Structure 1
């Protein structure tokens, strides 16, 4: 039987979804519940915090990149052995993009598809009774989505709480708690979002503090009782149809450390389920990709923060170059930057990279590039044959100073049919800023 689930949503970004999500996850885990964590949308950083809070790996569900069958199978799988599933939404509850595989990529799509009620966290700073008008609009916007209750955030006083809560409850919607303003519980951030879980000092204490904060100000028992009254629609399915993407090789070397951490767990599991073997190594520890592997995968991450150490990691660099002489190497985003000639860090210092592609990138000249991407392979590749279509996203601040050679793919964003060359490929080495999801 599938575990019941709930989704933490909001009217917009920066409303407190992560605070409430991590606090609930940790609080329930401390009570002895087995919590299965989920992140809606393309995100690498939040799931690592979910895993630290619950002790279970978090899975990404995205209705723009994934079809409905894959979403329901991943949801069913992650709920196995769990008492409850808690999903953290992305952006505003209904925010997305056109042309998705099973929806627009909105968190509401996932809630509707899986029958998960939404617990809305609403930032009431700068408003009182007006909060009820916003909550009413959200609750009535899509009949498929059930708002099970509201948690107020950034409440300034008891009077403020009462004004907002009474107006919302007059709509017949429960107010499950009210979080006061508290800057001490904010997690540290950097340019792509939160500082990674593995780099956050005193993470366990921070998570416990979030749990204490939520336990004090939210009726956690009422939240769970409301969720258990709703039946999840995620059905169990055969594992062999769950694969998000066929593995690009039998034995895959995957870089994994603080510079290369953006690798989706559902892809790793899908490849393992198909019989592939994954072997992790750390470039920051100056480890080379294992010689007995068939393909090397360099995920995204934060190489720009570690460019000096990577440039000095000669065992890694020479081993990567030797590997590329006979076997395929592919880099996503940060991994793509490392395959180039040079990477300029935020201070303007240039660092020599692997030199396997004619690429020069700069983090000193920053510009945000983000959004969903359709892509089709520009040539035969371990990921598929010429023209094979991929779905994923792009999210980086690096600027390309030089990019010369044959493209890895032809890509378009969710708002245009114009295809543009994306990335590079040369002699069995390829890469782009594109992150593969499905």
Structure 2
């Protein structure tokens, strides 16, 4: 499957809108589009899925390694893959957009804010292309999409200024209908605030789909990963507006190796009969009252105390704690599995790729093993003096700056999100069986 990377000159330049318009344009031209996201994000992919109609693949060198990332790309389905970048093209030392594009040998379409420029758009694109050589990277900046560009003289001025070897792939016209609401972790989810299809179609009319298809390339082939042994384990996965940060590859791996049952703690669903529970991240702070009022977390706490393994990531850790306090000062009882009280803060407490070293046997790693993930959260956890940790943080902040992974009974809660390519979920399933 051929692909192209939609990179930006910076965060906030409009990569997501440009990516969604590109997906829409290719779809309307008759191409089956596989969306993907460079970096560990969960939110932008939800918007991709709302427009493309299929889950967006996660492409991150730090989380997956080069072969794991290439395999995850190859699992996609469609005629062409559109990869949205992360931050600015070269930003990030763990897995920048440029690093992803280079590893997969995909061309980059650079999104440049053209609101107040014409020749400067060309100069910016030229500089981004030439910068790759100065840092020793092979990054093919193929051309630009001009964000917030008008037609007529404005568009023609950008076209005329571009060097012959930088393509003009079109423009995204200014439109208030192409603005996605945001909150503390980023944009609102695609299921809540998907852009109107009519507005995206109007923007798509200004993109040159055939030129995009022409420059797209096929990544180098890699050998498929051997399938893991099927087990008789059943994993219950929380799935609702509070627990919505799940990688498609993770859910796919759990389905390959176990029976998966989903349930909604927000709706008060009973915990399914299972051998273990996975609580993904998400927004428990936005649904704290419903979680505290329902019986699900109470039941989960009781069953964890009886030995049911529960694995929670970030929002999952918050739900496993003794209490969750919001920025408005409201305090809600949670499952009470972990010896910690969590408090929401006005600014983020951690944002990083992380490297964790297991200090003891746990659900996702053996003692001495290292596991990579990422963290992004606005909460902080105050832990009891006798709390036990599963990991030392080689890179990242974790729970207390030096450790991550609270252990209690047979359960584990971390601030880190990990990908299936790390082997963590294979280890989880193997422990359950």
Instruction: Give TM-score scaled by structure 1 length.
Output: 0.88
What count of residue pairs does the alignment treat as equivalent? 414
Q: 1:403 to 1:393 in 2, by over 3 A?
A: farther
**C-alpha displacement at 1:55, in angstroms?**
1.5
Paired position in structure 1 for 2:87 = 91
Within the alignment, does 1:421 sit opposite 2:403 as a pair?
yes
Other structure's SS at 2:81 match? strand
Paired position in structure 2 for 1:67 = 65
**C-alpha displacement at 1:180, in angstroms?**
2.6
Other structure's SS at 1:64 match? helix
**C-alpha displacement at 1:414, in angstroms?**
6.2
Paired position in structure 1 for 2:354 = 373
Q: 1:159 to 1:381 in 2, by over 3 A?
A: same
Other structure's SS at 1:407 match? strand
CA distance in 1, matches of 2:388, 2:212: 53
Paired position in structure 1 for 2:431 = none
Paired position in structure 1 for 2:425 = none
**C-alpha displacement at 1:413, in angstroms?**
2.3
Other structure's SS at 2:18 match? helix
Paired position in structure 2 for 1:101 = none
**C-alpha displacement at 1:45, in angstroms?**
1.0
Within the alignment, does 1:206 sit opposite 2:200 as a pair?
no
Q: Structure 1 stretches of 5 or more lacking a match?
A: 98-103
> Is the CA contact (8 Å cut-off) linking 1:410 and 1:419 kept in structure 2?
no
> Is the CA contact (8 Å cut-off) linking 2:63 and 2:418 kept in structure 1?
no
Within the alignment, does 1:238 sit opposite 2:224 as a pair?
yes
CA distance in 2, matches of 1:280, 1:415: 31
CA distance in 2, matches of 1:264, 1:139: 31
> Is the CA contact (8 Å cut-off) linking 1:6 and 1:117 kept in structure 2?
yes
Q: Structure 2 stretches of 5 or more lacking a match?
A: 423-433
Corresponding residue to 1:354 among 335, 338, 349: 335
> Is the CA contact (8 Å cut-off) linking 2:143 and 2:166 kept in structure 1?
yes
CA distance in 2, matches of 1:63, 1:113: 8
> Is the CA contact (8 Å cut-off) linking 1:283 and 1:316 kept in structure 2?
yes
CA distance in 2, matches of 1:122, 1:49: 21
CA distance in 1, matches of 2:346, 2:339: 19
> Is the CA contact (8 Å cut-off) linking 2:22 and 2:207 kept in structure 1?
no
Within the alignment, does 1:118 sit opposite 2:108 as a pair?
yes
CA distance in 2, matches of 1:73, 1:149: 27
CA distance in 2, matches of 1:24, 1:197: 16
Other structure's SS at 2:381 match? strand
Paired position in structure 2 for 1:177 = 170
Other structure's SS at 1:279 match? strand
Corresponding residue to 1:140 among 121, 130, 136: 130
Alignment root-mean-square deviation, CA? 2.5
CA distance in 2, matches of 1:15, 1:300: 27
